[in-house]
């Protein structure tokens, strides 16, 4: 059986890959994919800590992960709708070219 630190390291790695993508990619859809990766890394942490907890019968981490997946689905739907509207308005989905509110 893999110790808890293995799962935590995989989760940290996924989070940082998502962070790097969200910070560097120009396309707004790629930024959203990076955010999805970070959310999934957090979910993996919830499940891992639940499995390795003292009394997993209470199922707290499991419930939190289920609700977190639902929130992430809602976030993805609204985010992609926003990106499609931005594309229609500015004719581009690159975040560095949408600068109408730049001071």
Partner 1 sequence: MNLPFAIIAGLTVGSAVAAMSLRNMVHCALSLVLTFAGLAGLYLQLNAEFVGFTQILVYVGAVSILIVFAILLTRSTEPKDEPTTVTPWIGIAVAVGAFLTMAAAVLASPVGTRLAAPAPEVSVRTLGQKLMTDYVLPLEVMALLLTAAMLGAVIIAMKDKEDSR
Applying the rule CB under 8 A, the residues between 74 and 93 that interact with partner 1 are 74-78, 80-85, 87-89, 91-93
32 touches partner 1 (CB under 8 A): yes
Q: How far apart are the C-alpha atoms of 31 and 83, rounded to whole Å?
A: 11
Distance, CA of 58 to chain centre = 26
- Binding residue for partner 1, selected from 7, 35, 99, 103, defined by CB under 8 A: 7
10 touches partner 1 (CB under 8 A): yes
- Binding residue for partner 1, selected from 1, 42, 99, 101, defined by CB under 8 A: 1
Residue number with CB closer to partner 1 (60 or 103): 60
Tokens of 98: 């949408």
- Binding residue for partner 1, selected from 96, 99, 100, 103, defined by CB under 8 A: 96
Residues numbered 36-65 forming contacts with partner 1, rule: CB under 8 A: 36-37, 40, 43-44, 47-48, 50-54, 56-57, 59, 62-63, 65
Could you tell me the CA-to-CA distances from 90 to 26, 77, 95, 96 in Å, in that order? 15, 20, 11, 12
Query: In DSSP terms, which residues pair with 27 in a beta bridge?
Result: 94
Sign of the alpha-carbon torsion through 23, 28, 34, 36: positive
């Amino acid at each position: 059986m893999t110790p808890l630190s293995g799962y935590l390291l995989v989760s940290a790695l996924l989070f940082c890959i998502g962070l790097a993508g969200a910070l560097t990619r120009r396309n707004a859809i790629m930024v959203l994919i990076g955010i999805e990766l970070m959310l999934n890394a957090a979910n993996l942490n919830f499940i891992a800590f639940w499995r390795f907890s003292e009394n997993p019968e209470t199922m707290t981490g499991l419930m939190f992960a289920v609700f977190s997946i639902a929130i992430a689905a809602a976030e993805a739907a609204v985010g992609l709708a926003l990106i499609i509207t931005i594309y229609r308005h500015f004719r581009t989905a690159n975040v560095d070219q949408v600068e109408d509110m730049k001071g």
